[in-house]
Structure 1
């Protein structure tokens, strides 16, 4: 696909960003109704909050316009109350919402905020468990406490590695590497599929049980679990390319996805839902995986593998923009630039603000927007 097609899709998503900037003044965009485009917001950003300033940082870098840079700085600063919460998931918010401001725009205030959160996150590492536990403030469907982990907790990794590079303090890198290794070894099955959650013995670190917070069943493959594992392993590898075991796991996980995703290239919310093919899609999980595939296309050890994953990433992006990105054309009266078809959380015990199906999610939109900007040549995949 030509770069003009990627640029066209970026333009549609920029229109959606502009519309959101004009309508959302307080509360972070979280998910939106796919027919009206109205955002459900969270007061402090919840775990998804960094995706919104992340899109603004990308637009500031892309356009050079002060309105996007000013908005990115504003929304990044509004994440501050979450900097010291006890949750592994703040790695997502402060990497994309603040550290990305340093990476893309050399913004000093954003860097300082990200370092504050990273220092707190590093202190959450539990040496008995060998990882950063979910934490008592983690946004899950139960009181998870400090003896639970999940593949989602790899969200801690990018912020820790960025902080190590920014400060020269190798302790950040050490914690990031130990966390990555432990979480992958606990949650990746031998066939390359990934289980979402685990309970650990708080005294020994031994795995008590595997289960899921958000998938169809404890033995199923929740689409977003597979996606999180792929994208954060790719980011870890970009920082520690000598970790051959991670490369093996990343390739196994990517190949599992590619061999199980439907011909449409867009995943169902859970790969094992018996309602398939009538189950809900999850374009958010698919967009996350698109980002992971494009990163793997830069990191894989051979030219043949790099070409394979580049084509897979491009095919995934095409599927999303051709079938799930609104364009406000003659046959579509919706707002342009919405990535619809995401399944936020289907389980009945989900928090009310997360119980959205066939929706637009801010984090799904972020990962598609990132991927499109990679494909269009703005940034290199392994740099973000």
Structure 2
């Protein structure tokens, strides 16, 4: 995976890596980072941590600074950008540039907070194809955002925003059986749920793989940075994943696709969930064994069967995570390398190898 980071650094192209063609290894890039650019910077921070080489840290700072204009964007997804793009630089290196960027990103998030509804909405600039705005919520809005708020909001006098944002999203998106619905419409005046729906899942009633995984990750981050009040929800949501994961430990893009077992997989959802379970294994001792076993099985499956080269005849670029399904619903990048899938597999590998404490990131 470090070799893949190197080839990405060397590859021609302007903008942040977004998703790549599995045959050529060429990245499709976004000029401003879209919602995924922080994961490329996060890979660089982790490479610097793993290798001790200054070239990765220098590159991380350079790319992180390119995210600075996004602090003012009206998208809750900037939590991804400024946690993975800057927050990691603070947590791992105490980097001065990263600290200012993380502060600016957190301030931008707090400025979007709706105190009456008790959450930060998707926002008018949210990087979804449709149905965005100030009366919409999305479970994807929690990871990164919650971590930033819990580690930086106190400086801004808004230390309760993280708890309220997290609690309201689980009220809106977690079903009674502990599965997670991706999105919701709410009443801006009071936060009342109007309806649940999905942007990227099979249907409004199905469980899109990444929805469950993002929820698990957010809960792991919340507990890691001091909010233990969500432990019951964390265990319930994680237990659902463990119970429904296929025997080969790699999730389908949607748990309810009737084409299973011939439905597409999603290596990215699997990597996210594995990273979340490694955090929760430390935080919930009574579930440690089950969570570790599931996380390690998924990471092993991804590394052995979905990371190039996948066999002796595979001549593709080294270190591409295959079978990433960005948006099956719209037919967008349904079998590609995804920059966020790469990030979470790399994070998981570093945790398993003992190079990184799971609750630092």
**How does the TM-score come out when normalised to structure 2?**
0.97
Q: Determine the C-alpha separation between the residues in 2 that align with 1:52 and 1:226.
A: 23
Answer yes or no: is the 8 Å Cα contact 1:60–1:105 preserved in 2: no
Answer yes or no: is the 8 Å Cα contact 1:328–1:335 preserved in 2: no
Residues 1:360 and 2:348 aligned together? no
Q: CA deviation at 1:24?
A: 4.1
Q: Determine the C-alpha separation between the residues in 2 that align with 1:201 and 1:357.
A: 33
Residues 1:196 and 2:182 aligned together? yes
Residue matched to 2:14: 26
Answer yes or no: is the 8 Å Cα contact 1:328–1:334 preserved in 2: no
1:162-195: CA deviations, max 9, x gaps? Answer: 214xxx5374431001111110121111211000
Residue matched to 2:261: 277
Residue matched to 1:160: 149
1:188-215: CA deviations, max 9, x gaps? Answer: 1121100011001222321111100110
Answer yes or no: is the 8 Å Cα contact 1:29–1:41 preserved in 2: yes
Answer yes or no: is the 8 Å Cα contact 1:98–1:113 preserved in 2: yes
Q: Determine the C-alpha separation between the residues in 2 that align with 1:57 and 1:256.
A: 32
Q: Determine the C-alpha separation between the residues in 2 that align with 1:47 and 1:299.
A: 28
Within 5 Å, give how 1:94-173 maps onto structure 2: 94-155=82-143, 156-164=145-153, 168-169=154-155, 171-173=157-159
Q: Determine the C-alpha separation between the residues in 1 that align with 2:198 and 2:107.
A: 29
Residue matched to 2:213: 227
Deviates more, 1:196-205 or 1:124-133: 196-205
* Large movers: runs of 4+ above 4 Å: none
RMSD: 1.4
Residue matched to 1:315: 297
Residue matched to 2:172: 186
Residue matched to 1:4: none
Residue matched to 2:356: 379
Structure 1 residues 333 and 239, CA gap change in structure 2 (3 angstroms): same
Count of aligned pairs between the two proteins = 360
Q: CA deviation at 1:25?
A: 4.5
Structure 1 residues 24 and 295, CA gap change in structure 2 (3 angstroms): farther
**How does the TM-score come out when normalised to structure 1?**
0.91
Residue matched to 1:300: 284
SS in 1 for 2:62: helix
Within 5 Å, give how 1:49-60 maps onto structure 2: 49-60=37-48
Unmatched runs of 5 consecutive residues or more in structure 1: 1-12
1:307-333: CA deviations, max 9, x gaps? Answer: 221111111110110110113763211
Within 5 Å, give how 1:237-248 maps onto structure 2: 237-243=223-229, 246-248=230-232
Answer yes or no: is the 8 Å Cα contact 1:30–1:42 preserved in 2: yes
Structure 1 residues 291 and 326, CA gap change in structure 2 (3 angstroms): same
Answer yes or no: is the 8 Å Cα contact 2:150–2:226 preserved in 1: no
Residue matched to 1:286: 270
Q: Determine the C-alpha separation between the residues in 2 that align with 1:170 and 1:108.
A: 18
Structure 1 residues 110 and 188, CA gap change in structure 2 (3 angstroms): same
Q: Determine the C-alpha separation between the residues in 2 that align with 1:317 and 1:254.
A: 16
Q: CA deviation at 1:377?
A: 1.2
